[in-house]
Chains A and B, each alone.
Chain A
Amino acid sequence: MENTDYKYKINPNTNLFTELNIDSFGKLMIVNAIEDEFSIEVDEDDIEKFATVNEIIDVLQSKYI
């Protein structure tokens, strides 16, 4: 069921930066949370690669998980 309480709707193709205005620290917080959750360390070059949830999944699956 769709949760309409949120100010922003996120779907797998939402661009986190251009659509949700997430800044560089926001991006770092996302990466840090992923690293904590999966006990991995994401390379800086890979961090530059993603902008959507789908792209994060692709990078994680291809290299880390």
Chain B
Amino acid sequence: MSTKKFYELHYLNDELARKTGFNPYYVNVQSGLNDSLIIDGKEFINLASNNYLGIANDERIKEATINAINKYGLSLCATPIALGGTDLYKNLTQKLSNFVGLKSSIIYPSCYQANNGLFPAIADKNDVIIIDQFSHSSLVEGARTVGCKIRPFLHNNIDSLEKNLKNSLNYKQIFVASESVFSTEGSIAPFAEIVELCKKYGAIPVIDDSHGIGVIGKNGKGILEHAEIKDYQGIYTASLGKSIANLGGMISGKKSLIDYLKYYSPHLIYSTSITPPILAGIEKAICIIEEEFEALGNKMWKYRNKLRDALIKFGYDVRSSSAPITSIVTGTSVDTLLFAKELYKRKILATPFIYPSVPENQGVIRLIAGANLEEKTIDRAIQIFKEIKES
């Protein structure tokens, strides 16, 4: 192929943005996640971040981060297997393991990288990965790179999962993968039942708790606490960039497996280690969640319920959800962007999900009201949704 042809094939088709006169992606933010967010110099109500507990701009986390910079500098400029590991890294992996109730953990630069690297490190062509049809791209793409049989099962459907398990007994190893809290809509996987089925069929469960850690469970410890799973024998992953308000992706589980990944996961060992200031920030965030989850969680749920109840009352088509995620059904990509545009005009930032992030014509606008917001801000947002409905 000629160079010219290559570049002709790889370009951004911006037809949708032109059609709607709006591009909600890559906005130019000029502030941190305070009560309001500054975009292009204007104040917005931010319902688009995954800052569930509202701690992304917490002074204590900032201080811990700055202290770590003073001690270690910005980076050790090495992969974790070289000299990228610090005492901060070692202590934090233990703290994260204790937090979620598992034996051992490692931290990748992102959960996308962790999920992407997991299956290639533990599965081969003779295995089968049974995966919830709406699982996150990072899990799906990771599974695809193995080149093994992939069996999607119907979303959160235990019967469909079992049918797939029954038909997978000829494979060397069965894996069952799912998200805990599904990020586009807020449904929660029936994970206790999934784990039981895995036991019955000798499968290894893999759960991505990115939107569950620091969010669900009595003490915010995520899906294992929420589903009351004791002695979990599977694999656990989670992003540290959502309720933990930092960056990175953890994989936790049995010590023997984690020790194996420390030496056999290319996505970990050939990538510059997550940096000391971030590690210190995560550590502080976990301390805050351990001490203050009740108050922060109550605020998060209160805002979620208030917003959700109001939207339903105004007649919005709101997806059923068991998490602090509220998604309004908007349909086609054009309609979804037009609704996001209307919100943006009225100074609300929300997250539009369009195909291929969601199935075609099943677009949604996702709202997450973090505990950093003030209650009057939620009231103002509700008023704006009312005005849009009445206009």
Contacts and interface: CB of A to CB of B under 8 A. Distances in A.
A32 B151 contact: yes
B73 interface: no
Contacts of A25: 133, 140, 152
A25 B150 CA distance: 9
Interface string B326-361: 000000000000000000000000000000100111
7 contacts: A21-B359, A25-B152, A28-B150, A29-B152, A32-B151, A32-B167, A36-B167
Nearest to A23: B359
B164 interface: yes
Given A29-B133, A32-B164, A36-B167, A23 B360 contact: yes
Contacts of B163: 36
Contacts of B164: 32
Interface string A6-43: 00000000000000010101101100100010000000
A32 B140 CA distance: 17
Contact of B151 (A21, A23, A26, A28): A28
Most B Cβ at <10 Å: residue of A28, A29, A32? A32
A36 to B, nearest CB: 5
Nearest to B144: A24
A54 B151 CA distance: 23
A23 B151 CA distance: 14
A32 B160 CA distance: 12
Nearest to B132: A25
A27 to B, nearest CB: 10
Q: Which range contains the number of A residues in contact with the other chain?
A: under 10
A22 B303 CA distance: 36
Contact of A21 (B133, B167, B361): B361
Contacts of B152: 25-26, 28-29, 32
B335 to A, nearest CB: 15
Interface string B159-170: 000011001000
Contacts of A29: 133, 151-154
Given A32-B151, A32-B152, A36-B163, 12 more contacts: A21-B359, A21-B360, A21-B361, A23-B359, A23-B360, A25-B152, A28-B150, A29-B151, A29-B153, A29-B154, A32-B167, A36-B167
Contacts of A21: 359-361
Nearest to A29: B152
Contacts of A23: 356, 359-360
Nearest to B167: A36
A25 B133 CA distance: 6
A47 to B, nearest CB: 12
Contacts of B356: 23
A25 B356 CA distance: 12
A8 B154 CA distance: 18
Interface string B346-389: 00000000001001110000000000000000000000000000
A8 B32 CA distance: 46
A38 B154 CA distance: 21
A29 B163 CA distance: 12
A32 B154 CA distance: 12
Contacts of B133: 25-26, 29
B126 to A, nearest CB: 13
Most A Cβ at <10 Å: residue of B133, B151, B163? B151
